[in-house]
Structure 1
Amino acid sequence: MIKGALGLAGFAVLLEVLPRLGLVPRQHFPPFSAMCTALARQAARPAFWSAVAGTLEIWFLGLAIAVVAGIALGIGIGSVPVLRAATASTVEFLRPIPSVALLPLAVVLFSAPLRSILLLVVYASFWQVLIQVLHGVADVDPVARETADSYRLNRWQRARHLVWPTALPYAMTGIRLATAVALVLTVTGELFIGGTDGLGEQLSLARNSGDDGVAVMYALVIVAGLLGVAANLVTRRAERAVLAWHPSVRREVAL
């Protein structure tokens, strides 16, 4: 934590020094102090907090849909070898498609900006969770499978006592990755689609408002970055709490 804070402090100093030394044009890249001043002014405006709330709402909603769908389908597909083999090529084909490439499709399919952005967020985040859960289901110990066979556990009991404990660490990793991806796509969707009054749309307005908006634009970028850092800290804490029984977490705590 201390090293991370020192790294951020060093980066802030670099952002302050570069424009003052003339290494980057100040009209396009103001000093960090100017960004902080613009951020303080924005924080005094109710519209700023409304934009943050709007971004958080889309972010959480899209992430929740992606997590539920990814875990459910991951366990369902991964638990049936024939189904996993049949869908493997489809998954490998769809997974690399950039969500940004779906922007035109999202606009055409949904007239409401919220639904268009949610499509991008869910699509990008879903694969992070699904792939991890599929790996987790495939990692179930063969000896444990044979034990479940000897005890004649039904499908629900297998999922509850055999598959889920093995897949859970993978699922938590997928959720952590999906959290960051969902934030990126939320701001991107707001920036290019608009109509949601979120941080992305405020970024677009600041970018088009001339020299006065440059510092505001970077201030909003800083806010988006801070949201990402906070989300990463929260998901890591949640991961440690949920996986307190797991050997990897116990070793990390011991260190």
Structure 2
Amino acid sequence: MSPRRHRGDLMRVIARRLLDNAVVCGIIGVVSLICVAEAAGRLGLISTTQFPLASTILVNAVQLAADPEFLGDVAATFGGWALGLVLTVAVAVPAGLLLGSLPPVERALRPIIEFLRPIPSVALIPLAAFIFTERLDMKIAMIMYASTWPILINTIYGLKDVDPVAKETLRAFGFGPLSVLWRVSLPSTAPFIATGVRVAATIALILAISTELLGGGSDGIGTFIIVAGSSPDGLTLTVAATVWAGILGIIANGALVWGERRIFRWHTAMMGATQ
């Protein structure tokens, strides 16, 4: 084999492995979108008065990363998001385990769940503003309401997917209901719960910023966007702050995916083997 052909084969193998990497493909997609948006603005296909150039947005986003006031707003949003998500997990997981373990109770409450679950959470923010005097309490309440459903539903369905043979085996050896739940049901349901938490984390971030936008307050990314909208560079700052909101969402989701794969390696391997 000639050296030129060998180098060509090597480059094709490297390119194939890079394209198989989800992170690399994601970076390529983002860079491509930025380039297309920049070209559209430069060529006049998009009015820069209605939507700033991608390069201008990126420059402002980088500048915001060094702005102490904006970093304080990010910390406020992140703190409310984290606290609301933790409280949601503390409430939704036990509730899901209870409903999943007691089918008659789950069937009795299913109509109420199906009635409350489709209600748009953002539509309840004005109502929450009348109920809660503290904006942090309102933010946490809205996060908990919106984020409860994916965790609750995933926990219930995870319990239904537990191998009945494993449960019956423990019962045959004299283990009680709580022991069966702790030793079999909960470990088997844990990957479903983790997926529900990951979905809920995104919803929680949306509600945290939406509550700041619609419910008012003195800090947070949503509040920063409202204040920035009245400044001369309001459009650019608004989009730049929105970019950081998206970055926070990507970081949070990536961290949860990484933790899920590390903790539930056996589940990831099993799912990969069945595909």
**Which is worse superposed, 75-84 or 20-29?**
20-29
Where does residue 155 of structure 1 map in the other structure? Answer: 177
Alignment correspondent of 2:7: none
Distance 1:153 1:83 in 2: 23
> Deviation per CA, 1:91-126, whole angstroms, max 9, x where unpaired?
111111111111121101101111111111111111
Q: Distance in 2 between matches of 1:99 and 1:12?
A: 32
1:249 partnered with 2:247: no
Q: Does 1:213 align with 2:231?
A: no
Cα pair 1:240 1:249 within 8 Å, conserved: no
**Residues 72-95 of structure 1 deviation map (CA, whole Å, 9 limit, x = unaligned):** 100011101211111111111111
Q: What is the match of residue 124 of structure 1?
A: 146
**Alignment TM-score, normalising by the size of structure 1:** 0.94
Cα distance in 2 for partners of 1:106, 1:120 equals 8
Q: 1:26 aligns with which of 34, 40, 48?
A: 48
2:134 to 112, 117, 128: 112
* Structure 2 partner of 1:74: 96
Match 2:191 to one of 163, 169, 172: 169
Shift of 1:151: 1.8
Q: Residues 58 and 196 of structure 1: is their aligned pair in 2 closer, same or farther, counting only changes over 3 Å?
A: farther
Indicate conservation of the 8 Å contact 2:126/2:215, yes or no: no
Residue 249 of structure 1 aligns with an amino acid whose one-letter code is A
Shift of 1:15: 2.1
Q: What corresponds to 2:260 in structure 1?
A: 239
Structure 2 residues not aligned, in runs of 5+: 1-22
Q: 1:8-19, aligned counterparts within 5 Å? A: 8-19=30-41
Aligned residues: 252
Secondary structure in structure 2 of the residue aligned to 1:195: coil
C-alpha distance in structure 1 between counterparts of 2:218 and 2:82, whole Å: 15
CA displacement at 1:189 relative to structure 2: 0.8
Once the two structures are superposed, the pairs formed by residues 132-211 of structure 1 within 5 Å of their partners are: 132-210=154-232
Cα offset for 1:18? 2.0
Contact 2:126 2:214 in 1 (8 A): no
Alpha-carbon distance between aligned partners in 1 of 2:220 and 2:272, rounded to the nearest angstrom: 37
**Helix, strand or coil at the partner of 1:245:** helix
Q: C-alpha root-mean-square deviation of aligned residues, in Å? A: 1.6
User: In terms of mean alpha carbon deviation, does 161-170 or 138-147 score higher?
Assistant: 138-147
Aligned match for 1:226, one of 236, 243, 247: 247
What is the CA distance between 1:149 and its match in structure 2?
A: 2.2
After superposition, the C-alpha distances for 1:195-244 in whole angstroms (9 at most, x for unaligned) are 1411111111112324x121111110110111111111101101101101
Q: How does 1:60-71 map onto structure 2 within 5 Å?
A: 60-71=82-93
Unaligned runs of 5+ in 1: none
